[in-house]
Amino acid sequence: MIELPDLATGALAVGMLSALALGVGLLHAQRQQACQRAEIAALRRRLDGAVGAFTAEVEHLAARRVPAAARQSAHPHVTVPGPLHPQTAQTPLNLALEHVLTGLRTELAAQRTRIDAAAQAGMRGATREIQAALYRLQDALRELQQTYDDPELAQTLFRLDHENEQSLRRAQVTAVVCGAWVGLAREESHLVDAVTGGQARLAGYHRIRVHNHLEAGTGLVSHAVEPVAIIVAELLDNALRHSAPDTDVVVNLEHVHHGVCVTVDDAGLGMTQDERARAQRLVAGSEPILLTELGDPPRMGFAAIGQLTRQFDLGVDLSSPSPYGGVRAVLRVDSHLLSRIDPDERPPAASAPRSTRPASRDAAPADTRNETSAPAHGYGAEHDDDASGAASGHHARRDAGGLPQRRRRTPVAAASGDTPAPRSAEPRPEQAAAALGALQAGTAAARATAGEGTDGAATAVPDTARAARQRAEAGTDDADQTDHEGGTTR
CB 483 within 8 A of CB 441: no
Q: How confident is the model at residue 339, as a pLDDT?
A: 92
Cis peptide bond N-terminal to 297, omega within 30: yes
Instruction: Give the mean pLDDT of 255-262.
Output: 92
Sequence-distant (≥ 6) Cβ neighbours of residue 269 within 8 angstroms: 242, 243, 326
* Of 365 and 22, the one with more pLDDT: 22
For the segment 445-461, the average pLDDT, to the nearest whole number, is: 41
C-alpha dist (Å) from residue 311 to 46, 89, 285, 314, 423: 62, 46, 9, 8, 50
Mean pLDDT of 22-46: 87
d(CA 286, CA 397): 41
Q: How confident is the model at residue 240 (pLDDT cuts 50, 70, 90)?
A: very high
What value does the mean pLDDT of the chain take?
A: 74
Separation CA 490–CA 485 (nearest Å): 13
24 or 264, higher pLDDT: 264
Q: Measured between alpha carbons, how far is 33 from 15 in angstroms, rounded to an integer?
A: 26
Task: Give the pLDDT confidence score for residue 474 in this predicted structure.
Answer: 42
Does residue 453 surpass a pLDDT of 90? Answer: no
Residue 468 CB partners (closer than 8 Å, separation 6+): 143, 146, 147, 437, 441, 444
Bigger pLDDT: 339 vs 4: 339
Q: How many CB atoms are located within 10 Å of the residue 156 CB?
A: 15
Q: Residue 471's pLDDT band (boundaries 50, 70, 90)?
A: very low
Share of the chain above pLDDT 90, in %: 20
HSE, CB side, 13 Å, CA atoms: give it for residue 467.
3
**C-alpha span between 145 and 442 (Å, rounded):** 12
DSSP bridge pairs for 371: 211
Calculate the alpha carbon distances from 39 to 43, 50, 421 in Å.
Answer: 6, 16, 107
Characterise 259 by phi-psi region: left (phi > 0), alpha (psi -120 to 50), beta (else).
Answer: left
Least confident of 176-180, 189-193, 292-296: 292-296
Phi/psi of residue 109, each to 5°? -65, -40
Contact 378, 197 (CB under 8 A): yes
Of 5-9, 146-150, 305-309, the range with the lowest mean pLDDT is: 5-9
Longest dimension (CA), the chain: 170
The residue with greater pLDDT, 27 or 414, is: 27
Residue 452 has pLDDT above 50, yes or no: no
Burial class of 434 by CB neighbour count within 10 A (0 to 12, 13 to 18, 19+) = buried
Most confident of the ranges 287-291, 404-408, 452-456? 287-291
Give the pLDDT confidence score for residue 108 in this predicted structure. Answer: 87
pTM of this prediction? 0.61
Q: What pLDDT was estimated at residue 335?
A: 92
User: Cα dist. 456→118, 126, 128, 185, 284 in Å?
Assistant: 19, 12, 7, 12, 28
Q: What's residue 439's pLDDT?
A: 52
Q: Report how far Cα 239 is from the mean position of its chain's Cα atoms.
A: 14
Tell me what percent of the residues of the chain surpass a pLDDT of 70.
Answer: 71
- CA 305 – CA 315 distance, rounded (Å): 9
